[in-house]
Structure 1
């Protein structure tokens, strides 16, 4: 902390201005060097960040090319969406299927006997309710419970997962309706009422009547009858799942399963686009713009050049498949003079349709696939604690050293400023003392005869 002083009182000199100018002259050059070096380091950190971002995006595209569903996947279309929808997995076989839906699956509903008042007590006892082969759950009914109370107890029961209860106020009066949450003929509702109090009110009331019959879904696939407990049919056609939505035995839906070449092509196009973007980023970071006379912020840095060289070398190589050695160019992906990739769309489509086994092996073979090897290379750089993170850490340490040097310079300049103030203040005090002595001497001389004073 600097010394608080009144400066220049005796001398009239601007001591504060002189000290500030001397301190600035001493520190300006060093601060300028700090600013320049700090700017360069921050620019490099920004450049390294841009490089890592482009490589991470490229890595994501490579991962897609290592996934089995990218190659050999199937797609499905339906001639109409009115009666069903369909999905496929990789086991589906290309082909066409004619489907008619005769009947949708339906859940059963049963009703209790009609009562005079849904809020009047029914009778004491136990209700045991089950759906199909599932475990039954019990409802304890007190002698004060009404039909509404019983409805609430059924719906709130912790071990009830299969039944919903509601009261329907029909023309004859209110009755409790139980509905199964599961469709199909195997999921019938059973209700057993056991009276424990006087009378048979509970058992009489809960002699259930079927209101809506349970039904299985019925469909015909190429003339073959298929039944299902639900409206989801998953095993009738290999690799194809059907979700039934409506029924009309006179309407036919054509299901077509075919190879999903678009998925493979899109993945390869994404890989090429991402690679070219990465190469563009490296060019911008390391190149020189003759028009603007500006160099890239990582020009001369070996890291991006090494990455570029390794990637290009790997892409230009050949890869072993069960159909022999293959290169990217075999499938319509070639390298331009600028080192970028370009796609012959027609050739790539033909390769996907006619030579997909070799294409799949070339990209995604677990040991030798191009996408696998590229992914392993890129991961060395972009993973947490990888090469790029290490470079960032080194640059951060350089910034820390500059910050420390700034603090040390500030401390030295403060000490220098204090020393200058002390020296100038001492000088000002001496001048003040001399001025005082001079005034006293002149006063004394003025009082002497013959030195300006009056003679007697």
Structure 2
């Protein structure tokens, strides 16, 4: 007797039984999946700690930069001079008069009626600059129209000039204009000569101080007086550009326009840079400690741990960074963070807080000691860097831990696959056994029905014979 659906022959809920058996077998898969989730969370948690540790290290390194502690700020009372400072700047006030701005030279040819027709043929252009350098542009096999000259000149940065075409609207409107790429007399053209093309020589030939057909706008050097004119004890400064980097040590001056009135440049201490860096340092440290605490806590009420509960690596990062910030120098009034007003917060666990007033006073009165604490090979910054690097390196402790998690996830994936295959095989074996049972019970039920029918017939024959 053919069975179209298991359970029909026996009357048993075999599909439900198989489903319940699979649920029971799947408990093993759930255990593997839970371990996969835990290991994935562990991998992610290591990355979170690494990011927080990198941020803390970077904040410490910012404190260790020479331009942070004892930073200088500058100001100008006129838009004629822009000003910025470096860590080398020294506090003071200066008066500068901008006599002239540096400008670039320009040379313009006579007008031409056509910008596309060749001017002679070939040739070689030699350009001599004010600093004595000579550059050559070979036009052999190239066009010599104004358009071609612009393209060839602009394609060669070594020539020291840029080219463009000016249209003045006249009958011969097209003029070739050559402009020095930088300002000042050193970058100005002193001579242009063309060999092998007399027509082109006649158009662009140039000799400073000699006879030529070009219109020149001469280059000018910047001229500045510092603290008055030389006649009044001041200093005269000339520059090829409008940016003066070395006139006042550590101060960069950008000249924007000439000014008959002196411009006052003020350079002074800027303790806000140090204060900002200190607060950023404390914030980064507290963030690291909070991150580790959140990733390692255990919820006693829910009886559930976090991603790194009991993890030794996380605890080691925490303890070693605490130890690093306890660094102190062996001299001076500001030997440790606590001397600056950076102390442990009594209301939190393991975090820091800043006494702003104490910090401000320390910066004003003990700048040298604070610099010694944060800057150099024997400093708090260096101690933190040395403590953090073994964890942060590409082959460091955190990378190794993440690699271990990755390998564990690979093993768990294989275990999940093999367990899943085993469960499928087990359920299939059960299915085959139930099919066999179903067939057997169906046959027994059929035989039972047959015997019942036969006995009923015998009973009826007996009743008829007794009549």
Normalising by structure 2, we get a TM-score of 0.82
Q: Distance in 2 between matches of 1:319 and 1:444?
A: 110
Equivalent residue, structure 2, for 1:181:
181
Q: Aligned pair in 2 of structure 1 residues 51, 150: CA closer, same or farther (>3 Å)?
A: closer
Q: Which residue matches 2:344?
A: 335
Mapping 1:180-219, distance limit 5 Å: 180-189=180-189, 190-194=191-195, 201-206=199-204, 207-219=212-224
Q: Please name the residue that 1:313 is paired with.
A: 323
Partner secondary structure for residue 307 of structure 1: helix
Alpha-carbon deviation of 1:398?
A: 4.4
Pair 328,161 (structure 1): closer, same or farther in 2 beyond 3 Å: same
Matched, 1:166 2:165: yes
Output the CA distance in 2 between the equivalents of 1:30 and 1:254: 80
Deviation string, structure 1 residues 397-417 (Cα, Å, up to 9, x no partner):
444444444333333322322
For residues 267 and 10 of structure 2, the distance between their equivalents in structure 1, rounded to whole angstroms, comes to: 101
User: How far did residue 237 of structure 1 move?
Assistant: 1.9
For 2:363, the equivalent position in structure 1 comes to 352
Alignment of 1:377-416 (within 5 A): 377-416=387-426
User: Once superposed, what is the RMSD of the aligned Cα atoms?
Assistant: 3.5
Unaligned runs of 5+ in 1: none
Shift of 1:274: 1.1
With over 3 angstroms needed to count, the CA separation of the structure-2 counterparts of 1:16 and 1:203, relative to structure 1, is closer
> Matched residues in 2 for 1:9 and 1:294: separation?
47
Segment of structure 1 superposing worse, 170-179 or 346-355: 170-179
Does the residue aligned with 1:230 lie in a helix, a strand or coil? coil
1:103 match: 100
Cα 1:50–1:451 change in 2 (3 A) is farther
Distance in 2 (CA, whole Å) between partners of 1:211 and 1:146 is: 21
Distance in 2 of aligned mates of 1:72 and 1:369: 16
Q: How does 1:209-358 map to 2 (within 5 A)?
A: 209-223=214-228, 224-248=235-259, 250-287=260-297, 296-321=306-331, 323=332, 326-337=335-346, 338=348, 339-358=350-369
Gaps of 5+ in 2: 205-211, 229-234
Counterpart for residue 138 of structure 1: 137
The answer as to whether partners of 2:292 and 2:318 remain within 8 angstroms in 1 is yes
**Helix, strand or coil at the partner of 1:319:** coil
Q: 1:442 Cα shift?
A: 5.8
Q: State the 1:299 CA deviation.
A: 4.0
- How far, CA to CA, are the matches of 1:291 and 1:442 in structure 2? 66
How far apart are 1:59 and its partner, in Å? 1.7
Match of 2:65 in 1: 67
Once residues 154 and 431 of structure 2 are traced to their aligned partners in structure 1, the CA distance between those partners, rounded to angstroms, is 88
Q: What count of residue pairs does the alignment treat as equivalent?
A: 444
Q: Report the CA distance shift for 1:98/1:420 in structure 2 as closer, same or farther (over 3 A).
A: same
- Equivalent in the alignment of 1:7: 6
Structure 1 residue 228, shift from structure 2 partner: 1.1
The offset of 1:121, in angstroms, is 5.3
For residue 426 of structure 1, give the secondary structure of its aligned residue in structure 2: helix
Aligned equivalents of 1:158, 1:431: Cα separation in 2: 98
1:103 CA drift (Å): 0.7
CA displacement 1:189-233 (0-9 Å, x = unmatched): 22224465xxx6444434333431221111111121111122122
> Retained in 2: the 8 A contact 1:148–1:167?
no
1:92 aligns with 2:103: no
CA contact (8 A) 2:75 2:267 kept: yes
Check the 8 A contact 2:80/2:255 in 1, yes or no: yes
**In the TM superposition, what whole-angstrom CA distance separates every residue of 1:359-382 from its partner, at most 9, and x where no partner exists?**
12212330x311211222122223
Give the Cα–Cα distance (whole angstroms) in 2 for the partners of residues 312 and 141 of structure 1.
73
How far off its partner does 1:92 sit? 2.2
Cα deviations by residue, 1:224-282 (Å, 9 ceiling, x for unpaired): 1111122122222222222111112x222111122332222221111111112222223
Question: Contact conserved, 1:168 with 1:177, CA < 8 A, in 2?
Answer: no
Whether the 8 Å contact between 1:97 and 1:221 is mirrored in structure 2 is yes
Name the SS for the 1:410 alignment partner.
Answer: helix
Superposition TM-score, scaled by structure 1 size:
0.83
